[in-house]
Structure 1
Amino acid sequence: MGRWEGRTVEESPMKRSKTRRTAIKASSAVLLAGFLSATLVAGSGAAATGEGPRRAPAAACTSKQIVADGAQRTGSAQVRVTVTNKGTKPCVLNGFPTVALAGQGSPDKNKPVQVVRVGTSAPVRLAAGGRASAQLTFTPVLGEADGYCASGSDPVVAPTMVVGVAGGRYQLAPSDGGEFALCGTTVRATAFH
């Protein structure tokens, strides 16, 4: 029943049915809109972006996992040191290598070298069998034969160097069979990447 100018008027069954259908349609539209917006919000996560499930963080690489593959000369005063994860699980390598020139088989002939860090360091996730490398740059020896240093100091020559990474030390020779020669006591190094 409805009211019209003070009088009570009875609604027809057809009008009540139409009103009910309109109310049902309106509430259905509101429910559908709510469902769609909830689906869009919920679908904006990893599954919607195709990222897939998150991987568990890998532990830091250790000397039991990492092996130094070699020292490849990339220029007259540059060497690339590459390491490989020989472990069965992924690990995270972070930071810069340490470096010392190894004497002629005698520890008292070792030459400590100060590492000047170039750039920034970021964690590198190494899968089993994965590799990372760092670039070492020495102050070059000038001239031929024994050579000389622009600073006037004597050049330092060594058949191998010891590179520290992930808690281990690896003695490496140049991949070309030569020797390491540098002026001064510093080497510039990039982080492993």
Structure 2
Amino acid sequence: MKTTTMVLTSATALAAVIALTGCAGSDSGSDRPTVTATRTATATTTTTATASPSVTAGGSGTGGSGTGDSDGSTSAAGGRCTTDQLSGGTAEGTGGAAGSVGIVLTLTNTGTTPCTLQGWPGVSFVGGGDGEQIGAPAELDRTSEHDTVTLGPGAQGQVALKITQAAAYDAAECSPQPADGFRVYPPGSKTSLFIKDTAYTACASGTVHLLTTGAVVVGPAHP
């Protein structure tokens, strides 16, 4: 009897295992984990170069400084001509109207690199042997061309200068005085050059304007 009971028990256990296995095999898979592929997008940053606007600077002033009425710009050829790299002189002009004479002021680049000038110089008579200004500074001929002029080493810029004769005015109005020459401020500069020329008489009166200057050009200048 004991042997029969053990066989039946083993058979019952085996049947239970088979039944469980059959249940597992018939599973629809709804409980099985699902693997999902994930893609990661990588952003690419593009840098765009933006050109910065160029900044230009110009000189100003009349009488006490040269008038760079321009963009006074620094060109690719070089910077603005400074007084210490320029020499001044005079040259004959094309004459003048009745009661006036026209001459040319010259500005020569004595440096070793190109430089630029643009606009009108400040010009006045000086005298008394000490460089003292006589009378009113030159008026500016605003109708003259005033492009930027590039002067290479040894090159010369020219300025047309009209000089009204002091004798055209009454002596009491003019207060005539012999001149030693001209004080010239290159365009944009606050330091001056002295150009000796004793051929002219100035008017000490500040209300009489004997001088009219054009802008710097690459010759010839026409007073």
2:102 match: 78
Alpha-carbon deviations, 1:77-98, whole Å to 9, x = none? 2221001111111111111111
Answer with 1 or 2: which has the greater Rg: 2
TM-score, with structure 1 as normaliser: 0.57
Tell me the SS of whatever aligns to 1:64. helix
Q: Give the superposition deviation at 1:170.
A: 1.4
CA RMSD for the aligned pairs?
2.8
CA apart distance, 1:179: 2.8
> How far apart, CA to CA, are the structure 2 residues paired with 1:106 and 1:124?
32
Aligned length: 131
Cα shift at 1:72: 2.7
Instruction: Kindly report which structure 2 residues correspond to 1:117-132, keeping only aligned pairs within 5 A, or say none.
Output: 117-118=141-142, 119-132=144-157
Q: Is the 8 A contact 2:129 2:180 kept in 1?
A: no
The alpha-carbon distance between structure 1 residues 124 and 104, as it changes in their structure 2 partners (threshold 3 A), is same
1:62 aligns with 2:82: yes
Distance of 1:107 and 1:90 partners within structure 2: 30
| Greater percentage in strand | 1
Task: Return the offset for 1:148.
Answer: 4.4
**What is the letter of the counterpart of residue 183 of structure 2?**
V
Q: Relative to structure 1, is the Cα distance of residues 173 and 125 closer, same or farther in structure 2, using a 3 angstrom cutoff?
A: same
The residue number in structure 2 matching 1:171 is 194
TM-score, structure 2 normalization: 0.50
Give structure 1 regions of 4+ aligned residues with deviation exceeding 3 angstroms: 106-110, 180-183
Paired position in structure 1 for 2:214: 190
Q: What pairs with 1:153-168 in structure 2 (closer than 5 Å)?
A: 153-154=173-174, 155-166=176-187, 167=189, 168=191
1:114 Cα deviation from its structure 2 partner? 3.7
Q: Decide whether aligned partners of structure 1 residues 106 and 127 sit closer, same or farther in structure 2, where only a CA change above 3 A counts.
A: closer
